[in-house]
Amino acid sequence: MGKFKNLKANLKEDAKKAFKEKESGGFRTEQYLDINMFDEASLFHPMLGKNAIDVIPFIHETDLFKAQGKGKGDPNIMLDVYVHKGFNQRFSKCACLRRMFGKPCAICEERDRLREADETKYKEEIRRLKPKHRTIMNVINLKENEDDDHNGQIQIFDESQWFFMKELLEEAEANVEEHGDAVDFYSPDEGQTVLFRTKKNPSYPRSFVYRGFNFEKRDETYNEGILEHTYKDAEFDYGAFPLDAMLKIHTYAEQEAMLNEEAEAATDEKDEKEYEEKTQHKGRRRKARVETTDTDDVEKKPEPEVEVVEDDTPTCPFGKTYGVDGSTKDETCLKCKKADADLFMNCIVDSLG
């Protein structure tokens, strides 16, 4: 057995990988966030009903966002990203090179080509290729969840900017008139806990609608060292994840390869679920600080698929396609402007590509 160096150890790792993937043959779905970079990393999934989280900032480990004013060593509350989702049969996801970095993006160019060819004929394809606005941040779930091994430790929350962060920021900024400053929900020492409720989205059943945002004083403050992933104390096994380092940026050529996949490729649902619900390493639980007597919250646990946002595009209240049909000269769009100026403006901008 001396001919091959570390033979037993290497074979053992191969066996572990084979056991783990025994039912998920074929390709792996491409993702824009490398959740497997850290063994302890997991995604936070809100529960149906009442939720409470503490937002934990992180320290950038790369200069990927230097053009946006965030370089290596800078603290940040969240990553603001644009991603393409579900544009092929593998349901691949990748960062939009055009919207994020001003570089050529193969998927955006395909969308442009279809719009020039026949915008009406390819209306659905054009909508599907549109980049989605996402917010990624580190959070601590304060609501007891026995089904989550990482409950009480830091997790990654990746959600639609439109559905979640927009609502959160508007509520935080509503505090300005009364107190002169927006609510601080992010500082380790003075930040407040974020409270919100979730309901099933009637337009997109596999997603949530977030409502009832509120804030309350945290029971405990955090050491600023928690912003770095190497942090560890008696209560936490690790600190915030460096989200910029976990962001996977596909090249233009890789995007083209994803677009031009073989038509008969089948979606590996188990592999997708593994990414969305990765909880391999059990962390110590942080005592839940928010209790609820709402029986609906206890009894109505969401099905796993409800927590996955497959399409976060807002719905046009007048029957048109948001982000495609927007026009400053269309009478219907002008009605929308009177009803919801923000929705109108965002639709116009997105319709311009």
Q: What is the pLDDT of residues 5-35, one digit of tens each?
A: 677 676 766 665 555 444 444 445 678 999 9
Report the C-alpha gap between 333 and 322 in whole angstroms. Answer: 10
As a whole number, mean pLDDT of residues 62-84 equals 95
What's the whole-number mean pLDDT along residues 264-276? 45
Q: Could you give the angle at which helices 106-118 and 252-259 cross, rounded to 10 degrees?
A: 50
DSSP codes, 279-304:
--S--PPPPP------HHHHH-PPPG
8 Å CB contact between 183 and 191:
no
One domain for residues 83 and 140: yes
- Summarised one tens digit per residue, pLDDT across range 145-180 is 767 778 789 999 999 998 899 999 999 999 887 778
For the whole model, what pTM was predicted? Answer: 0.69
**Whole-number pLDDT of residue 276:** 53
Task: Give domain status of residue 239, yes or no.
Answer: yes
Domain with 320, as residue range(s), is 314-353
Give the Cα-Cα-Cα angle 156, 157, 158 (nearest 5 degrees).
Answer: 115
Query: Are both 267 and 139 inside the same structural domain?
Result: yes
In a domain, 19, yes or no: no
Domain assignment present for residue 6? The answer is no
What is the number of domains present in the chain?
Answer: 2
In a shared domain, residues 62 and 202: yes
Residue 325: the pLDDT is 74
In a domain, 141, yes or no: yes
Q: What is the mean pLDDT of the chain?
A: 79
Q: Give domain status of residue 346, yes or no.
A: yes
96 and 63, same structural domain?
yes
Answer whether residue 135 is part of any domain: yes
Say if residue 301 is in the same domain as residue 318: no
Q: Which backbone phi and psi does 74 adopt, to 5 degrees?
A: -85, 140
One domain, residues 252 and 334: no
d(C-alpha 250, C-alpha 93), whole Å: 10
Residue 8 inside a domain? The answer is no
Q: Is residue 212 left, alpha or beta, with left meaning phi > 0 and alpha meaning psi from -120 to 50?
A: left
Residue 136 and residue 247 share a domain: yes
Is the predicted pLDDT of residue 308 greater than 70, yes or no? Answer: no
| Token pair in block for residue 317 | 């209240």
pLDDT single digits (tens) 191-221? 999 999 999 888 777 788 899 999 999 988 9
Residues 339 and 252 in one domain: no
For the chain, the farthest-separated pair of C-alpha atoms sits apart, in whole angstroms, at 79
For residues 258 and 123, state if they share a domain.
yes
Residues 130 and 47 in one domain: yes
Q: How far apart are CA 283 and CA 229, in angstroms?
A: 14
Higher-pLDDT residue of 316 and 39 is 39
Nearest alpha-carbon partner for 278 in 13, 58, 40, 32: 40
Q: What is the pLDDT of residues 281-300, one digit of tens each?
A: 333 334 444 444 343 343 44
* 3-state secondary structure (DSSP) of residue 115: helix
What CATH number is attached to the domain comprising 172? Answer: 3.90.198.10
For residues 78 and 182, membership in a common domain is answered with yes
1 in any annotated domain: no
Catalogue the E-assigned strands of the chain.
Answer: 49-56, 58-59, 75-76, 79-85, 93-95, 132-141, 154-160, 192-200, 208-217
Q: Looking at the structure, do residues 196 and 333 belong to the same domain, yes or no?
A: no
Q: What average pLDDT does range 27-49 have in this prediction?
A: 87
